[in-house]
Amino acid sequence: MSKIVFVLGAGASVHSGTPLMNNFLEIAQDLLRRGEVEEVKADFENVFEAVGKLHAAQSKAIIDTYNIEDVYAAFEMGKLLGRLPGIEELDQIDGLISSIKKVIGFTLEKTMMLPTKAEINGPVQYDSFVDIINTLLSQKVECSIITFNYDLGLDYSLYKRKIIPNYGLEDVRIGVKAIPYLKLHGSINWGRCNNNSCRKVVAYRNFGVTEYQNDLGYSILPMISKLRKMKCPFCNNELDKDPFIVPPTWNKTAFHEQIDIIWKKAAIELKDSEQIIIIGYSFPPTDMFFRYLFALGVDLKTILKGFYVYNPDPEVEGRFRNLLSSGIEQRFHFYNVSFENAIGQGPFLMGTNIETIQSILNV
């Protein structure tokens, strides 16, 4: 439905301070050591203990125990299979899943460098990205964002510009300017209603009044504690205690009813897209969902005019080339650069011929 679809991965958020998937647990451990997550200390310890057992139990490193998505996926699969090395009781696995959501949520919350009150908008590169979005929306160009990220860097920048992210949840209130913004793995500002006859997923949206400044000079959005105080707008019940985030595995069964509506909307956005621009998403071989979302959702033959991938990891090029059918090579462009360079910022890279997002879209 959208002419331009942006697809964002963790590499797009890294400039705002959040960890990548493969150093996430390391950063989380630093937070624990520095005493910055006292309120959820037991959850952090619980996860690290289980990760240690998982690591020790593998004769070969099939599961990357340094990668948060792999670990989260292993916990979910452990629940499905009723087995996780070193964990005796199934109830304990449930506890672990709840703990890892807190680890993800609090780590993102504590590391995201939002500007102080004196400054205006969001994290600097997201801010420039929102400039592009703003221009496209003003020109009435249909565009949308699909993201694998749980964090709120872009959400924050959009709200600061009074552009409402339309998450595709039922609680959406469309403002004057809104953009479909589909978070395929959930978000740390989403919570699920605790009432069994409701169970709707709703979003906390009051971004403007939730900041305070930390010692390092940037603002913090204490989203999880805000979410815990929020009531369901449909039935006025409490929400689940943990944010609504889902692991990147095939086993989305536990989340299926709530998340499949978002995936369906993503497929609709991709269906008639003319330009697909992928930033900081490294398309891990295990992400079969995206493979199918793309294969079933995109009309490669007739409608797609350009497929652009920006990623500092050169290996990513091959993964996307394998995904695309022959005949669209002319339309496929891979740029071995970061988000910063994609939006025309950062050091000029000698000898490279990068088309910035602005030049692709004429904005």
Instruction: Provide the binding-site residues for Zn ion, judged by CB under 5 A.
Output: 193, 195, 198, 232, 234-235, 237
CB-count burial class (<10 Å; 0-12, 13-18, 19+) for 275? buried
Q: How far is the CB of 159 from Zn ion (least distance, A)?
A: 24
Shorter beta-carbon distance to Zn ion: residue 175 or 233: 233
Shorter beta-carbon distance to Zn ion: residue 206 or 236: 236
Query: Is 273:304 a contact under the CB 8 Å cutoff?
Result: yes
Q: How far is the CB of 239 from Zn ion (least distance, A)?
A: 8
Q: Within the chain, where are the H helices?
A: 10-13, 24-33, 41-57, 68-81, 90-111, 124-138, 153-160, 223-229, 256-271, 288-297, 315-323, 339-342, 357-361
Q: How far is the CB of 258 from Zn ion (least distance, A)?
A: 12
Q: How far is the CB of 299 from Zn ion (least distance, A)?
A: 38
Shorter beta-carbon distance to Zn ion: residue 195 or 336: 195
Tokens, residue 212: 């305070």
Tokens, residue 342: 């994609």
For residue 231, give every residue at least 6 positions away whose Cβ sits within 8 Å of its Cβ, in sequence order, or none.
237, 238, 239
Shorter beta-carbon distance to Zn ion: residue 237 or 251: 237
Q: How far is the CB of 140 from Zn ion (least distance, A)?
A: 35
Query: Is 323:292 a contact under the CB 8 Å cutoff?
Result: no
* C-alpha separations of 66 from 22, 112, 126, 230 in Å: 6, 20, 27, 33
Shorter beta-carbon distance to Zn ion: residue 102 or 200: 200
Shorter beta-carbon distance to Zn ion: residue 255 or 281: 255
